[in-house]
Amino acid sequence: MTALTCVFCLVLLTIPGSSQRDSGNVDVRSAMTEIQKELDESAEATRAKDIDRYMQQIPSDVTVQGTEPGKTTSRAQLRQEVLRQWSIIKDTVLIFNRIDRIDVQGDTATVWTAQRWERNMYERDGKTLDYVVTTQKHREAWRKVDGSWKGYAIQELGGEIFINGKPYHE
């Protein structure tokens, strides 16, 4: 299991008191609301394991950067990785991403998030279940294109994995 097990979920919960910075005449709250809507749709697709619905939220030129320098994942690779991950997940118990900070400049936004994903996952035997919790910090690049905010790049900044309540170290 790798830290990538939680990278692909793009879910966002806006919490009061999040650090915000508006570097222009952009309505930061409006941007946060619109981004929230996009990420809520992605969360529901993840919970339902609906890959077509999930991929509708992913722009055609998205990139995902892992914690390994220079390693990126294409949209097609993302789809395959998400399906692979979902195949060993019985169900998602809880999934959220909290905005720690947002910086909006015109039609671009940088969003720093803290993610938590709790799920029941099958072990290699396909029968035994483990309760897996991953936390992950992200820096996400968003762009407003044709009136809609879309996430274009995600960079993992580090996190933890717990299996049945015990820390897991790769």
- pLDDT per residue as tens digits for the range 126-167: 999 999 999 999 999 999 988 889 988 888 999 999 999 999
Strands 63-65 and 148-163, bridge-based pairing: parallel
- pLDDT per residue as tens digits for the range 99-134: 888 999 999 999 998 889 999 999 999 999 999 999
Residue 15: how many other CB atoms lie within 10 Å: 11
21-34: b (≥16 Cβ within 10 Å) or e? eeeeebebeebbeb
| Residue spans per domain, the chain | 3-168
Listed residue (8, 18, 9, 7) closest to 103, CA to CA: 18
Say how many Å lie between the first and final Cα of the chain, rounded: 8
Instruction: Specify the residue for token string 């339902």.
Output: 48
When pLDDT is averaged across residues 75-94 and rounded to a whole number, the result is 92
- Is residue 129 within 8 Å of 47, Cβ to Cβ? no
Q: How far apart are CA 82 and CA 19, in angstroms?
A: 30
**Is CATH 3.40.50.300 the classification given to domain 3-168?**
no
Cα pseudo-dihedral 164, 83, 65, 118, rounded to 10: -20
Residue 10 has what pLDDT? 36
Phi, psi dihedrals of residue 64, rounded to the nearest 5°: -125, 125
Nearest-Å Rg of the Cα atoms of the chain is 16
